[in-house]
Amino acid sequence: MPEQEHRIGEISALREEVAQLRHAVVSHAVIDQAIGVVLAYGGLRSDAGWEVLREVSQHTNTKLREVAEYLVQWPHCAWLPPEIHRGLDAALQRRGSLGGACGVDEAGRDVSFGIRETGLSLPPRRGAGGSRRSRERR
């Protein structure tokens, strides 16, 4: 019986470790995506993205993963918590970067991601406006 209990304990510990590793893999992917957003927004070299993300986390007293999640959603929802936005702009300004130059358009929408000023356009969201083929037919 003690050997069976020992095996059950090992299985439980392994399941917990697998769950933690899965969580770490997802967190790592989100953080990598957020670094990409920081690089695109700030016009930085790739080696500076992690430092900016870490700095924003420290200066806003927000977990790094939470900062990363906000940044990844920012281009899609056009909203970033004000303290994260200020922290990002401050970190980029300390590096002499372009971030924070955009602000809000005349309709009150956040255009801080720089899409409007650079002339770049994002693809339409799925479900918003139909497929490319249906838009071409219009």
Instruction: Give residue-wise pLDDT tens across range 49-95.
Output: 999 999 999 999 999 999 999 999 999 999 999 999 999 999 999 99
Residue 23 pLDDT class (50, 70, 90 cuts)? confident
In a domain, 38, yes or no: yes
Structural domains counted in the chain: 1
In a domain, 48, yes or no: yes
Give the CA distances from residue 112 to residues 22, 79, 84, in Å, rounded to whole numbers and listed in that order.
Answer: 33, 9, 13
In a domain, 121, yes or no: no
Residue 25 pLDDT class (50, 70, 90 cuts)? confident
In a domain, 116, yes or no: no
In a domain, 134, yes or no: no
Instruction: Give residue-wise pLDDT tens across range 32-55.
Output: 999 999 999 999 987 899 999 999
In a domain, 108, yes or no: no
Instruction: Give residue-wise pLDDT tens across range 85-132.
Output: 999 999 999 998 865 444 544 444 555 554 434 433 333 333 334 434
Full domain range(s) for residue 6 = 2-101
In a domain, 128, yes or no: no
